Structure 1
Amino acid sequence: MPEYLAPGVFVEETSFRAKSIEGVSTTTTGFIGPTRYGPVDLQPDLVTSMVEFERVYGSRRQLGFKAAGTLHNYTWHAVRAFFEEGGKRLYVGRVFRKQAGTSRKYGGFESTTALAATNPSYDDGHARGLLAGEAADTKKQLFVHGRYPGSAGNLRVRFTLRAGQNVLSFEGGKPRVSSLQERDVVVLRDFTTVAPATPDPGAFYQARWNELKQDWDLVPATGTATSLSTLVDTGNQLRIITVSVAVLPTDEPGSSQVWAGLALDKVHARDGAEDSLHARFSIDAADLERNRDIPIVFAPGADLGDGLGMLSALLKATPSGVTPTVSDALKNPDSTDLQRTVELLLQGGNDGERPTADEYQGEQVVNTTRKTGLVQFEDLEDISIVAAPGSTYNYEGGYALDANSIINLLISHCQRMHYRIAVLDSGNGQTLGQVRAQRAKIDSSYAALYYPWVKVLDPVTRQPIFLPPSGFVAGIYARNDTNRAVYKAPANEVVNLALGFESNLSKSQQEVLNPEGINAFRYFEGRGYRLWGARTTSSDPEWKYVNLRRYFAYLERSIDKGTQWSVFEPNGDQLWASVRRTIEDFLLNEWQMGALLGDKPEKAYFVKCDRSTMTQNDLDNGRLVCLIGVAPLRPAEFVIFRIGQWTGDRK
């Protein structure tokens, strides 16, 4: 209560209505599986288009596993199907399994010692390249690595050195500089109109401010510094050197990334060092999350922190016999970018082995906050649908043990997170008996199984291929929730991308599958290819339908989030009445939208929160118990019309 100690008029705000509950989103999906590139142990970013997915996780090209061979990029295909079928928001968790018997060594040197210390996930599978500098001295070498493992890390990296405009001028014979900053690398050359017998070759320096002299010192790599004030007006020009880095995929021409105007020195002060070469491509642990979209990282030798050292490494990497050299071109204002470019090819990136259940399960990386596998999804509260596209490929050919383990991991994850449902794939090429055997091993209301695989035109091979159903189904879930509502069964929906199915099921065949909770894709002449089933894998008839499980998850999560204000409030009649009003208003709105069964609100739901739901022991232990009952709608799975003969004179 406010205190009123002096006479006056006091205006206070008060509330005469119950707090409202906002319905949560039910369409956000999480896919987990192998991709060609991307982070393995960083929290996934939200993906809203194929362009965003490919920027982070690589292109649609096939995956090349060492033992399993080349497989379709099922995660890419699932993401494409998800968006094409109506999905909007997606998280992707990448799983990666390194090849056995490989090490971190590159070119005979332990090039990733620093990487291993700061990021345990750095291992084989990463593409690597080396700017030799002085080949025998590792302190003068620049190692460049793909930030993440994968064949898409085999990139072409171009370093283009540029000398900017002349920043040196003379006023009354005294030199002045503009835009010069501490530790800038510069080139100084005499461009006098009357050339001496031996033209000035120019020299590279680093600018350092001398507090004692209140003057700039131009410090060479070796030898004594030159004070700026000693320069005379005989055609001298001073130009600041920066570098641009371009990263070009070797298999996807035209999709390059460029970072321009980067300083060469490690501790350069421009823009808080964000525009230095080292900061932009740092391997420090703190930068791994911040610069996650940059596809490469540097591991510079100990002598390359200095700007002149980095410049020397770039200049010495120039192939011998090139005329003019990069060094000469850098001193010439009329040189072209091509003459000042050094190119490096990263090689050795690979897709590892086909991931097993261990990679899908994931873990928290020791002594860090980074996580892998399904453990990543535990921190993302807005996910409602989870799937592992392609994890059941070759189910009948020897991968069944891992596939079943992955299925169990998805189910246990959804049960633990409580507000999620797992979309499960059948195996490719399965018969009715085989998919029934797969289904017989599952019993959970938090999962739904779909059969058979969907036929589409592969944009990579331009041939028809079969894809797992989960990507299509997740997109149909999202489309159904957006166009209709979560309480409507996500079935009798067109599969937009489908050209057919692996098996054309008849009505009699589905009569075998449907009672066992296997949702089928069917073809209907004149109505196209449709999803024709909406059952969970539960043996409990109370949770038989997918829309029922998803609708209750929606109700529970909405009430959970919308009543957080009640925690630590005084546990008495006033709080109980407020909680009742809040939930009743929410359920009334659901009934008015047609989500609940009953012609009157009192028939559709009830909310109890009073002494009849709580004992004195509950009150003594700080518990508020609210009892909620709703009458949900179940789908009209069997529509029956009974027709009989009727005579014309009957009343």
Structure 2
Amino acid sequence: MPEYLAPGVYAEEVSFRQKTIEGVSTSTAGFVGATRFGPVSGPPALLTSFLDFERIYGGIDPLRYAGVSTTNHLAHGVRAFFENGGRRLYVARAFDKASDTDLGVAAFDLGGSPPGGFVLKARHPGSAGNFAVTISVTVGPNILVQSDGIGVLSGALPYDTVYLTDKKATSAKLGTRDIEGTYWLEPFFDPTTNLDTFKLHAADPNAAELLASNLVGVAGLGVHVVTANVTVSRLGRFVADEFWGGLAFHPEHPQALTRVFDPTPVDRSTSLFVPLAIDTPLTNGPEILELILEALPPGDASPPTPGQLLENHTPPVADPRQAPLQLLALLTHGNDGKLPDGDAYRGDADAAGNKSGLLAFEDLDDISIVAAPGSSLGGLVDGPTNLTARDVQDALLGHAERMRYRIAVLDSPNGALPDQIRTWRGRLNSKYGALYYPWVRVVDPYTEQEIITPPSGFVAGIYARSDVLRGVHKAPANEPVRLALDFEFLINRGQQEVLNPEGINCLRLIDQAGLVVWGARTVTSDPEWKYVNLRRYFAFLEHSIDRGSTWAVFEPNGPDLWANVRRTVEDFLFNEFKVGHLLGTTPEEAYFVACDRSTMTQNDLDNGRLVCLVGVSPLRPAEFVIFRIGQKTLEATRR
């Protein structure tokens, strides 16, 4: 209560509005699995299109394990997710390096002295790191202006790398030092002229310095800023090259090569969207420039010196990527490691706290659907793939149960016959998971051939589409499977009569409906939670009330607070009733909320607990639509 200590008029803001609860989103998904590129730890990237996935995680090209090519099922799952109506997707990469010495990172060493003095490498491991890098050197116009006996470098920036030329008098000297060569600029205040100017430093720190204000009196003297342009050309299904222009050579420059392509970036955007990293111990611009020039192709003549290369350089053309001085480097030895096991899917945390796999999803509050497309590949074959497939599904279910407001979309193993999928289903029991069968036949955009892919990517997208168009209360079934050409097996009614009661959701070809999802059950033995939409709708209610009631924490635990909480929850449920998400013709039939002394004991009050009891009457799907038809006589009445 405010204090009133002096006479006067006090205007105070008060709220007469009731606290409100906003429904949480239920359409955001999280996929974990193997990709061809991308970060292996840290916060998972949020994708809003398949183009985002291609740029960060390497596209839909096949993966390669020990030289054997395999379909990139996670990429196909991401594509299916967005094509079927998904809008927001997090991806966590599961990567297992081939060995302790083979980290799977592609690289190219420019050589020179010292060895390893300038190494181009892919930022992340993976076969998509084997891309081409073009570095072109561009020499700008003369920036030296001579006025009243003082030299001024117009438009120069601190730590620019410059090249000095004197084409009319090549033997001219400034003092005892040859003025031709490459230098870097250090800001300097000249007390003689009271002007801010630059010192010019050569690559050798022991060499004499030049002062920009003293660069006068030499006919034809020119100072030219030297910059680099870098182009990364990905191999595979990528639309365009990636280009960075006007980069400096000195590491202290804000637009330095080593800053733009920092191997240990501070900001997450560089880690995600800049695929190239440059590692060098060199400390100044002329050193780095000369090493790059030494690595340029020499042509038919003997290898030219860096000075000759720059002096013979023609003015830059309109497109800087077509500059004559170009170095083309192909990064090699990037690989996808070995087939990730269950531990790689579960994830881990390193010393810096960066998490991987499913563990990284635990820090994200908005995910409501999790899946691991491709993890069930080879699940029926005895061996490591069988163990991995079962282990990953256990990890998905454990994650969903631990996070409470999520559901795991599980794939059946490829090639499973109806009796085999029944055996597979028999070891699963959780109200937080749903199993889908069989796999989906699509056209691979990489090979333009038909392949089969796991259904989880399609189903997760259908979940999201149904949530947006109808609501999470509606069973995500009787929905078309977009992109699908066919299914691995065509399931008939008799087979589904065996599979459906066991909680195996079939994808079927239905007359007049096409290729659709024809099941909406969880893999639980508890009949109270056997429907997917029921489990997800309660997760929606619980999560919304959880998030929308945090204001009540540490409030005085008395009748005023109880009434406020009760009204807040009632208003939220009344809105759910009005839009048809609850069963009943009146609010009293649809839900109840109790928060008073009948729900709390004195022990609860003494221990700071507020207990609110909420009951709702949810809608269950009309899984069996039954019409009873009989003959009617004139005198017959309806029973």
> What is the TM-score when the length of structure 1 is the normalising length?
0.91
Q: Residues 319-372 of structure 1: CA distance to partner in whole angstroms, max 9, x if unpaired?
A: 33456956534333536644211121110001111111010011111x212011
8 A contact 2:237–2:446 mirrored in 1: no
Are 1:315 and 2:296 counterparts? no
Q: Residues 492-533 of structure 1: CA distance to partner in whole angstroms, max 9, x if unpaired?
A: 111121111111111111000000000001112232111100
* Cα drift, residue 163 of structure 1: 1.8
Q: Distance in 1 between matches of 2:229 and 2:506?
A: 54
Q: Partner letter of residue 99 of structure 1? A: A
Q: Distance in 2 between matches of 1:174 and 1:341?
A: 36
Counterpart position of 1:119: none
* Correspondences of 1:20-169 after superposition (within 5 Å): 20-66=20-66, 69-100=68-99, 103=101, 124-134=103-113, 137-138=114-115, 141-169=117-145
Q: Distance in 2 between matches of 1:409 and 1:591?
A: 36
Q: Residues 250-270 of structure 1: CA distance to partner in whole angstroms, max 9, x if unpaired?
A: 3346521111111211122xx
Counterpart position of 1:391: 375
Q: Residues 250 and 502 (structure 1 numbering): CA distance in 2 closer, same or farther, change over 3 Å?
A: closer
Q: Distance in 2 between matches of 1:61 and 1:627?
A: 52
Equivalent position to 1:208, from 169, 173, 186: 186
* Cα drift, residue 146 of structure 1: 0.8
* Cα drift, residue 312 of structure 1: 1.4
* Cα drift, residue 233 of structure 1: 5.0
* Correspondences of 1:524-539 after superposition (within 5 Å): 524-539=510-525
The number of aligned residues is: 617
* Cα drift, residue 221 of structure 1: 2.8
Q: Residues 158 and 196 (structure 1 numbering): CA distance in 2 closer, same or farther, change over 3 Å?
A: closer
Q: What secondary structure is seen at the aligned counterpart in 1 of 2:420?
A: helix
Counterpart position of 2:349: 364
* Cα drift, residue 197 of structure 1: 8.9
Counterpart position of 1:592: 578
Q: Partner letter of residue 91 of structure 2? A: V
* Cα drift, residue 15 of structure 1: 2.2
The RMSD of aligned alpha carbons is 2.0
Q: Partner letter of residue 263 of structure 2? A: I
Equivalent position to 2:248, from 247, 259, 263: 263
8 A contact 2:83–2:483 mirrored in 1: yes
Q: Distance in 1 between matches of 2:188 and 2:265?
A: 34
* Correspondences of 1:280-359 after superposition (within 5 Å): 280-284=260-264, 286=266, 290-300=270-280, 302=281, 304-321=282-299, 325=304, 327-331=307-311, 332-334=313-315, 337-359=322-344
Q: Distance in 2 between matches of 1:553 and 1:15?
A: 31
Are 1:242 and 2:241 counterparts? no
Q: What secondary structure is seen at the aligned counterpart in 1 of 2:495?
A: helix
Counterpart position of 1:186: 162
Q: Distance in 2 between matches of 1:13 and 1:239?
A: 64
Counterpart position of 2:151: 175
464-473 or 393-402, larger mean C-alpha shift: 393-402
Counterpart position of 2:425: 439
| Structure 1 stretches lacking a partner, 5+ long | 105-123
Q: Distance in 2 between matches of 1:568 and 1:290?
A: 41
* Cα drift, residue 460 of structure 1: 1.4
* Cα drift, residue 481 of structure 1: 0.7
Q: Distance in 1 between matches of 2:238 and 2:411?
A: 34
Q: Residues 221-257 of structure 1: CA distance to partner in whole angstroms, max 9, x if unpaired?
A: 3442233314215121111111121111133465211
Q: What secondary structure is seen at the aligned counterpart in 2 of 1:2?
A: coil
Q: Distance in 1 between matches of 2:98 and 2:456?
A: 28
* Correspondences of 1:547-562 after superposition (within 5 Å): 547-562=533-548
Q: Partner letter of residue 540 of structure 2? A: Y
Q: What secondary structure is seen at the aligned counterpart in 1 of 2:380?
A: helix
Q: Residues 211 and 590 (structure 1 numbering): CA distance in 2 closer, same or farther, change over 3 Å?
A: same
Q: Distance in 1 between matches of 2:426 and 2:170?
A: 92
* Cα drift, residue 482 of structure 1: 0.8
Q: Residues 208 and 13 (structure 1 numbering): CA distance in 2 closer, same or farther, change over 3 Å?
A: closer
Counterpart position of 2:613: 627
Equivalent position to 1:642, from 624, 628, 634: 628
Q: Partner letter of residue 128 of structure 1? A: A
Q: Residues 645 and 427 (structure 1 numbering): CA distance in 2 closer, same or farther, change over 3 Å?
A: same
Q: What secondary structure is seen at the aligned counterpart in 1 of 2:273?
A: coil
Q: Distance in 1 between matches of 2:72 and 2:60?
A: 6
Q: Distance in 2 between matches of 1:252 and 1:548?
A: 41
8 A contact 2:60–2:237 mirrored in 1: no
Q: Partner letter of residue 310 of structure 2? A: L
Equivalent position to 1:478, from 464, 468, 485: 464
Are 1:276 and 2:256 counterparts? yes
Q: What secondary structure is seen at the aligned counterpart in 1 of 2:163?
A: strand
Counterpart position of 2:203: 221
Q: Residues 352 and 345 (structure 1 numbering): CA distance in 2 closer, same or farther, change over 3 Å?
A: same
Q: What secondary structure is seen at the aligned counterpart in 2 of 1:158?
A: strand
Q: What secondary structure is seen at the aligned counterpart in 2 of 1:396?
A: coil
Counterpart position of 2:363: 379
Q: Distance in 2 between matches of 1:609 and 1:334?
A: 80
Counterpart position of 2:486: 500
Q: Distance in 1 between matches of 2:449 and 2:250?
A: 51
Q: Distance in 2 between matches of 1:262 and 1:91?
A: 32
Q: Partner letter of residue 15 of structure 1? A: S
* Cα drift, residue 487 of structure 1: 0.4
Q: What secondary structure is seen at the aligned counterpart in 1 of 2:145?
A: strand
> What is the TM-score when the length of structure 2 is the normalising length?
0.93
8 A contact 2:44–2:91 mirrored in 1: yes
Tell me the percent identity. Answer: 48
Q: Distance in 2 between matches of 1:425 and 1:58?
A: 23
* Cα drift, residue 187 of structure 1: 0.7
* Cα drift, residue 598 of structure 1: 0.8
Q: Distance in 1 between matches of 2:551 and 2:628?
A: 53
Q: Distance in 2 between matches of 1:479 and 1:288?
A: 30
Q: Distance in 2 between matches of 1:207 and 1:358?
A: 51
* Cα drift, residue 637 of structure 1: 0.6
| Structure 2 stretches lacking a partner, 5+ long | none
Q: Partner letter of residue 9 of structure 2? A: V
Q: Distance in 2 between matches of 1:629 and 1:252?
A: 52
8 A contact 1:49–1:83 mirrored in 2: yes
* Cα drift, residue 3 of structure 1: 1.5
Q: What secondary structure is seen at the aligned counterpart in 1 of 2:324?
A: helix
Equivalent position to 2:596, from 610, 614, 636: 610
* Cα drift, residue 211 of structure 1: 4.3
Q: Distance in 1 between matches of 2:233 and 2:157?
A: 31
